[in-house]
Amino acid sequence: MNYQRSKMNPNQGTNKTVLDRYLRLDIPDQKCQAMYVWVDGSGENLRSKTRTLNFVPKCPSELPIWNFDGSSTGQAEGSNSDVYLYPVAIYRDPFRLGNNKLVLCETYKYNKKPTDTNQRWKCLEVMKKAADQHPWFGMEQEYTLLDTDKHPLGWPKNGYPGPQGPYYCGVGANKVYGRDVVEAHYRACLYTGINISGENAEVMPAQWEFQVGPCEGITMGDDLWMARYLLHRVAEDFNVVVTLDPKPIPGDWNGAGMHTNFSTAGMRSPNGILEIESAIEKLSKVHDKHIQAYDPHGGKDNERRLTGRHETSSIHDFSAGVANRGASIRIPRGVAEEKTGYLEDRRPSSNADPYVVSDRLVRTICLNEQ
């Protein structure tokens, strides 16, 4: 390895063409590499590890329960460190291809109780209770691409790019940074079966968004977590880092959110606007509870983002309006005109746990919890 190359990130320095030779090797038909993926003790970051199976699994219940060293992920003490992985959803593996799988898992402690950052089991209970109302979600995941030095991708190393304006949905080498990552991620999501519905470049340069949905019930959280895993993994291939920080650059730069579009069967029916209005009324009474649930630090992360500027509402006030991007809840123009459809909750932070957000919305709107 020459000097120039040894200074580079080791992932970048390896030769992807050489790797491809090995990825194309035939492996025996009944062998399957199953990459188990889980949310770690931060409630934000993902971890993964692989095992070989001697069969090709079709549903999560066929997969063995596994474990990992929870003391290395903020999920257990060193003296009692085994944490269990319970498979809950299977996806095709867009990296290893063939029969190989990505396996989304819940985490359980030695005593078979869920770990503190396992938010899925509660969400699943809530979704079962509200199943007859067919809750649908569409989440808009905003994120920022960084260089390996944590500097936003494509930004001048000393200073800032020109002010916001030309970048949103932009085109051209001076308007958008990192499109290769976005394209590769979109295709990878489609390959796995994740219900990805679109992408766009965002207002701040190097900031992007993808949308997942509409998804019913628990599938929303499952698909979004796996889509986040794919995003980090795809970016790794390009030697780029992804951050879900809700305000990566302080000052006159847009933050990142996870707008959550929501509807029930009632809202999607003729004159469903009445149900949408009643849902907004319920939401207005528990604003603080929702803010607490809308980032992994009880509202602290969103304090930096929900300032009332940069297309956000103030974290302290609840508001709703048709086509209003400065409100907590926006009723899309088309929904107001047709009197049926969905509402958009603009408050969730980009690093929010989709299980917690979907759980909270359903408890307030469908189960009438205060």
Contacting residues toward ligand ADP, per CB under 6 A: 136-138, 140, 197, 211, 213-214, 259, 261-263, 268, 341-342, 344
- Asked if 259 is part of the footprint of Mn ion (rule: CB under 5 A), the reply reads yes
Q: Which of residues 169-228 bind Mn ion (CB under 5 A)?
A: 209
Other residues' Cβ atoms within 10 Å of the Cβ of residue 222? 22
CB-nearer residue toward Mn ion: 88 or 258: 258
Contact call for residues 222 and 154 (beta carbons, < 8 A): no
Smallest distance from Mn ion to CB 142, Å = 5
CB-nearer residue toward Mn ion: 209 or 222: 209
CA distances from 84 to 17, 20, 124, 184, 218 (A): 36, 33, 18, 32, 21
Rounded Cα–Cα distance for residues 10 and 3 (Å): 12
Q: Using CB distances below 5 to 8 A depending on partner kind, what does residue 229 bind out of Mn ion, ligand ADP, none?
A: none
Smallest distance from Mn ion to CB 281, Å = 21
Rounded Cα–Cα distance for residues 62 and 100 (Å): 14
Q: Using CB distances below 5 to 8 A depending on partner kind, what does residue 304 bind out of Mn ion, ligand ADP, none?
A: none
Using only C-alpha atoms, the chain has a radius of gyration, in whole angstroms, of 21
Other residues' Cβ atoms within 10 Å of the Cβ of residue 58? 10
Other residues' Cβ atoms within 10 Å of the Cβ of residue 183? 12
H or E stretch at 137 = strand 136-146
- Asked if 345 is part of the footprint of Mn ion (rule: CB under 5 A), the reply reads no
Smallest distance from Mn ion to CB 330, Å = 7
Rounded Cα–Cα distance for residues 203 and 176 (Å): 10
Q: Which of residues 25-84 bind Mn ion (CB under 5 A)?
A: none
Residues with Cβ < 8 Å from 13, sequence gap 6 or more? 1, 5, 6
Q: Using CB distances below 5 to 8 A depending on partner kind, what does residue 137 bind out of ligand ADP, Mn ion, none?
A: ligand ADP
Q: What share of the chain is helix, strand, coil (3-state, %, to 5)?
A: 30, 25, 45
Residue, CB closest to Mn ion? 259
Q: Using CB distances below 5 to 8 A depending on partner kind, what does residue 175 bind out of ligand ADP, Mn ion, none?
A: none
CB-nearer residue toward Mn ion: 57 or 170: 170
Smallest distance from ligand ADP to CB 344, Å = 6
Smallest distance from ligand ADP to CB 260, Å = 8
Smallest distance from ligand ADP to CB 7, Å = 40
Rounded Cα–Cα distance for residues 225 and 355 (Å): 9
- Asked if 140 is part of the footprint of Mn ion (rule: CB under 5 A), the reply reads yes
Smallest distance from ligand ADP to CB 134, Å = 10
Rounded Cα–Cα distance for residues 37 and 232 (Å): 12
CB-nearer residue toward Mn ion: 120 or 290: 290
Length of the chain: 370
CB-nearer residue toward ligand ADP: 117 or 261: 261
Helices (H), 24-142: 120-129
Rounded Cα–Cα distance for residues 87 and 65 (Å): 7
CB-nearer residue toward ligand ADP: 70 or 257: 257
Q: Which of 60, 62, 94, 57 is nearest to 194 (CA)?
A: 94
**Torsion sign (Cα): 7, 9, 11, 16:** negative
Site string (77-116) toward Mn ion, x via CB under 5 A: ----------------------------------------
CB-nearer residue toward ligand ADP: 83 or 361: 361
DSSP character for 148? T
CB-nearer residue toward ligand ADP: 140 or 301: 140
Task: Select from 48-56, 140-148, 263-271, 280-288 the region that touches Mn ion (CB under 5 A).
Answer: 140-148
Residue, CB closest to ligand ADP? 138
Residues that bind Mn ion (CB under 5 A): 140, 209, 259
